[in-house]
Amino acid sequence: MSHLSHGIDTHTAGGLRPKAGRKPLFRGALLAILVYLVMYVLYGLAEPDAFSAYSIANLFNNAAPLALAAAGQTLVILSRGFDLSLAGVISIANVLTAIAPFDGPLGALFSLALSMAAGAVVGAVNGYLVAYRGIQTIAATLGTMIISQGIALLLLPVPGGSVAPFVSDTLTDMLWNTVPVSALIVGFFALLWLGLKNTDTGIAFYAVGADDNAAALSGIPVKWTRCKAFILAGCFYGAAGFMLSAQTATGDPNAGLPFLLLSFAAVALGGTSLSGGHGGAFGSMVGAAVLLLMQKMLFALGVASFYIGFFQGVLLILAIVCGRVINRPRAGGTAR
């Protein structure tokens, strides 16, 4: 995009103006939280058990992998890109945790580190291809996704293996019978993001996504920033794959594929602009929780399993429309 046209785009979409007054970065997450609460009440009405500590822990366990994956995807989307390699990295992390189980807290930590390292390596390749070789993000990450999917298949050709008992039991359990462990882990990554957001690196992500020319002119190392976004995102996907292993307790070389499109939906629900520059990973995490609660709620409300997808699609579109209506009463709508 040329500088001029980009200026017109953001202007007509009202992207820059309301920032000063109404804190758009927070609004997206706020809306997702609101949607979540409404769904939770509906879920609670249909399923009286819903407010028990056990089912709250269950919800967190369910949402943790997608929440971490969506948080990673957000980093790439903020710097204006798409990352398809997410699916491959989650598969690799899941397979690694299943074929090489390390028990005990230290073993779990090692598995987590291993998963995140695998993600970082894939992310570094993405970053190199995108930032230093000028390949379009979706094309580069498609290549690495296919390759990492293949590596996962080499490591474990058919679903199987078993995750270390500590990982599958303790990480899905509750601390003192009240606090879900998975919530703590997701919370840790959310804090990590909130810390990162205000560092130079975090600000650089936003700047590069909003306008990479302006970012370059103001002294931000654009290429390295892009690269960093991919590497960090890879770490998040690795953590997501690790949490998925804890939840399923087994390995599946195709485990990551269902996360691919859902991660984009979670990011959009969380109020992050898919064309970069606006939003945040915290919103995406809530968006992920919304998506998974939506499934549970529809099931609890008695929607036939065949048609759950129908309502899911409708709700997804409605949630975004509501967001638009609330956020921009005056906008005429844009095609992006």
C-alpha–C-alpha distance, residues 151 and 155, integer Å: 6
From residue 175, alpha-carbon distances to 164, 178, 179, 308 in Å are 19, 6, 5, 33
User: Which residues, numbered 37-96, are part of the site for another protein (CB under 8 A)?
Assistant: 82, 84
Q: Which of 105, 194, 309, 326 binds another protein (CB under 8 A)?
A: 309
DSSP 252-271: -TTTTTTHHHHHHHHHHHTT
**Quick check: 308 binds another protein (CB under 8 A)?**
yes
Q: Which residue has the tokens 């996962």?
A: 152
Q: Cβ contacts of residue 140 below 8 Å, gap of 6+?
A: 126, 129, 130, 133
Kindly report the backbone phi and psi dihedral angles of residue 184, in degrees, each rounded to the nearest multiple of 5, phi listed first. Answer: -65, -40
User: Binding segment for another protein among 128-136, 189-197, 242-250, 288-296 (CB under 8 A)?
Assistant: 128-136
In the bound state with another protein, the residue whose beta carbon lies nearer, of 3 and 200, is 3
Shortest distance in whole angstroms from residue 148 CB to another protein = 8
Decide whether 83 or 180 has the Cβ nearer to another protein: 83
Name residues contacting another protein, limited to 244-283 (CB under 8 A): 253, 261, 264-265, 268, 273-274
Instruction: Compose the 104-123 pattern: x for residues touching another protein by CB under 8 A, - for all others.
Output: --------------------
Using CB under 8 A, which residues numbered 1 to 30 contact another protein? 1-2, 4-9, 11-12
Choosing from 38, 109, 138, 326, the residue that interacts with another protein (CB under 8 A) is 138
159 burial via Cβ count (<10 Å: 0-12, 13-18, 19+): middle
- Cβ closer to another protein: 167 or 292? 292
Nearest by Cα to 95 from 146, 163, 182: 163
Q: Assess 316 for contact with another protein (CB under 8 A).
A: yes
The set of residues, in sequence order, having a beta carbon less than 8 Å from that of 50 and lying 6+ positions away, is 40, 43, 44, 300
CB 28 within 8 Å of CB 285: no
Cα 49 → chain centroid? 28
Q: Find the shortest distance in angstroms from Cβ 306 to another protein.
A: 4
State the number of binding residues for another protein (CB under 8 A). 63
Applying CB under 8 A, the residues found at the interface with another protein are 1-2, 4-9, 11-12, 82, 84, 129, 133-140, 142-155, 157, 253, 261, 264-265, 268, 273-274, 304, 306-310, 312-314, 316-317, 320-321, 324, 328, 331, 333-336
